[in-house]
Structure formats: C-alpha cells, structure tokens
Amino acid sequence: MSYLINRNPPGRLECLHNLCKFISSKYNLGDTFNMKDIKYDSSEDNILNHCSLLKSNSLLNIKYCPYKDNPLNTSGCSLTNGVNDDTTKSKEISNTVNALDALGFLLRRKRNIQITHQGLLFAKTEYNSIEMLKIIRNAVSGYGMFIGFLAQIKLLGKNSFDTNEITLGYPNSNEKILYEGNTIIISGGSESDSNTRTKSCLLAWGISCGFFIPENLDDDSYNADTSYQVVTRTYTLAKKRNLRKYKVTNFPDHLFTGNHIVKKPLDYNNLTKNTGALRENNQAKIRELTLKVEPKIKNRRYAIIYALNKAYLEKSTLDFDSLINFLNDYPELFIVNQETFEDVMYSELNIAFMVGTPFSVSDNNELKPLVGVDMVEVSLGAPIGLINAMKKFNI
C-alpha cells in the first residue's frame, strides 16, 4: 500500500533523515502513533532538536527551519508544520508520512503509523556514508511510482533526458457522459501542478541515488561508489529545484531484468485522485458525476495492473485487446460509456506507470511488463466481486 506524493519537500532526503531521527527517539518498533504526534510542538521535544540543517538568527538567539522565511513561524518545520496549524497546512505532514511509507521507513495504515526496521536503520545511519547511499537506493526501488518514473527514462533509450519527456499523474481519459441534460467530462486525471510537484520529488530522490544528475552538476570523477547524496546536496536541499536537463549516470538497469517485484505499489483506493477536492470553480456537477462512476474507474485501472502483473509472473506479454474483450463481459464493473470504452481503456494505460507495472510495447503491439507488483498490496480496499472477476482472466 502506498500513496501519491504530490508535494515536493520530501524530495529532500536529508530532511526525511532528520525527521526519522526524531521519530526513532520517541518510538520503538511496534509502537503506534499518528500524524499529530510528530508535528512540531514547541512545548515538547520536537523535530528541530534533531535537525542538522537549521539556520541561526543571532539577533533572536534562535535556530529555525531554513525553509521557513520567518524565524518565528509557529509551524516550525516544513515537513510537518505545527500542531496548531489549520487543516490546509496539515496536508504537509500527510504528504511527508506518505513519502516515508513509500520508502518503507514508516508503515501507515489509515491513521495508525509505525516506524519500520528500515526506518530505524535509516535514522541511525550516518547520512554522508556509503551505507546511506545503499539504504536510499534500496528504498526508492520499492515505490511503484518511482519504478514507473525510472522505466520512462529507460524506455527513452538515451544517455540524457529533459524533464518534459517524463509524464506523471493519473491518466486523463476525457470521458464524456450526458448527465442531467448536460455533457460532462469526468475528472479522473491529475492536474499539471500536482504532476510537477510529484516529478520534482522523484527527481530529487534519483539525483541523491546517483541514477541521474543535472547536466551542469556532473563530474568525470564520479563513479558508482560516489556518495551522491552528499555531492548533490546543495541542489537537492535548495528551496527551488528547477533544472530540466539530466545525464543518466548509474542507472539501476538490474531492476528491469525480470526479477523485481514492487513492494509499495499504489493500492485500489489510490487508483484515482481525491475527487472530493473538486468543489471550486463551478465543478460541483463534475464532482458529483465523477464520484458516481469512480468505482468503475478504479476497477478498470485495477484490471490493467492485474493483467500486466499476471503476464509478468507468467513470463508472457499482454494482448491488451483481449483484456478489453474480457472486461466487456462485466459492464456493471468496468464500463461507463460503451461507445467509447475501448478508447478510454487505451487512455488509461499510463496508470501502469503510476502504480508500478511499467511496460514496453513489442513488435506485435503486445505489452511486455518490465517488473511485477505485490498484488496483495494493490488489492487492499478492492471489492471481492472485482477480485473474483479478474481471477477468471487468462493471458
């Protein structure tokens, strides 16, 4: 189970390291806590007492988060914000916990959170060490969205890339339905600003791992054992990271050789964006309709992941048309508009790169999955009727 990361502060792995040091000072393996317990609270031991990146203000005689412009800001830390902040600022701690869960350093199950063995190791390891490089490389390889991100770079087949060549976010099918006398486009895809924030975070992780590096930061002396999290920290810790051109360096090709299973794919409940947020800009009807058909959107996206993973495990390829034909037998589960269903299914294919089952296209136009996923994780929250239907699908 994992979540979409749609804010970029967790891209600063050194900040996450400091937060895990704080968490490990309060909680042991098996201890359960919630988000509020790790927010900044000036009346208790807090993240600032464990942070190595603080700035000093000699006039006020205080140290403060370098990502807060005001030294007296009561929210304290850019990753967590404070216990007294409003609900809008509380989104930051949720995104941070989601990032730590995606990396395997925390385990989140709804409101309950625990630190993991890997989280304790991350917290206790010196950040500048080669051991830390191994930890973070292993961590990012478990997150489905990061694997999909890497696969897009691999499929470019080049030694360099521009960030505009990489697409992230939930697919936009532009599916239209006549609803209460009006033609309405279902809002099932991500907005461009959310995609940009997600990409910024994943880019920073890849840079820290040394998988790729901004072209103007490359150095001929760097090799596979360079502590990239150290030599690139000035850039990855910057308030703004907006370089677009990258050189591929120590790319993890081994992840795509036929044996990698993604441990942290998106689960069923995270196969669509938060539709409940569609309240502004006269989007009430779009929200109402999207919520009504959202189960079918999730179901068809789940079907894509299930079929690709089945093909991967069977060392086979997927004839996507055969999957569409199969789904046509279950209109109550998958079909919103029969006339456009086939086109919509093709537009939904990029969900595979979001969840963690990226693919290449073979010469006969069949889909070749590049990795597998833990379907137990993907199936969390999925209706039993959907699971039973997909068990009948054969490659």
CA distances from 77 to 22, 215, 322 (A): 12, 31, 51
Of 150, 118, 157, 361, nearest in space to 260 by CA? 150
The pLDDT value given to residue 395: 87
Q: Give residue for tokens 């927010």.
A: 39
d(CA 205, CA 139): 10
| Cβ–Cβ < 8 Å for 215, 160 | yes
Q: Does the structure show a pLDDT above 60 at 35?
A: yes
**Pairing relationship of beta strands 372-373 and 261-262 according to DSSP bridges:** parallel
List the structure tokens of 250. 């120590």
pLDDT digits (tens, 9 = 90+) for 284-337: 666 677 778 899 999 999 999 999 999 999 999 999 999 999 999 999 999 999
Quote the percentage of the chain above a pLDDT of 90. 77
CA distance 171 to 182: 23
- How many C-alpha atoms does 174 have within 13 Å on its Cβ side? 3
DSSP string computed for 145-161: HHHHHHHHHHHHTSSEE
How many other CB atoms are found less than 10 A from the CB of residue 269?
Answer: 12
Tokens of 304: 């894509």
Does the pLDDT of residue 281 top 90, yes or no?
no
Of the CA atoms within 13 Å of residue 339, those in its CB half-sphere come to 4
Average pLDDT estimate for 213-229: 91
**DSSP H or E segment with residue 300:** helix 284-313
User: Which residue type is seen at 254?
Assistant: H
pLDDT of residue 17: 98
Nearest in space to 138 (alpha carbons), one of 157, 158, 121, 161: 121
Amino acid at 186: I
Residues comprising the chain, all counted? 395
Between 91 and 46, residue with greater pLDDT: 46
Task: Provide the pLDDT for residue 280.
Answer: 46
CA dihedral 196, 296, 98, 82 (to 10 degrees): 90
The secondary structure element, H or E, covering residue 345 is helix 341-347
Pairing of strands 367-369, 176-179: unpaired
Can you spell out the DSSP letters for 209-230?
HTSEEEGGG--TT--TTS-HHH
**96 vs 15, 116, 133, 230, CA distance in Å?**
10, 15, 20, 22
Is the Cβ–Cβ distance between 13 and 205 less than 8 Å? yes
pLDDT in tens, 139-198: 999 999 999 999 999 999 999 999 999 998 899 887 877 777 777 777 667 666 668 889
Q: Which residue has the tokens 């036929």?
A: 258
Residue 349 to residue 355: CA distance in whole angstroms: 11
Grade residue 58 by pLDDT with cuts at 50, 70 and 90.
confident
Is the per-residue pLDDT at 276 higher than 60?
no
Q: Closest Cα to residue 287, out of 298, 275, 269, 304? A: 275
Give the pLDDT of residue 190.
65
Rounded to 5 degrees, φ, ψ at 293 are -100, 0
**Which residue in this structure is represented by tokens 């010469």?**
363
- Per residue in 97-148, pLDDT (tens digit) is 999 999 999 999 989 999 999 999 999 999 999 999 999 999 999 999 999 9
Give the pLDDT confidence of 239-256 residue by residue, as tens digits. Answer: 999 999 999 999 999 999
pLDDT of residue 273: 83
How much is the mean pLDDT over the chain? 92
d(CA 252, CA 154): 9
Q: Phi, psi (5° rounding) for residue 133? A: -60, -40
CA pair distance 395, 320, nearest whole angstrom: 10
Q: What single DSSP character describes residue 261?
A: E
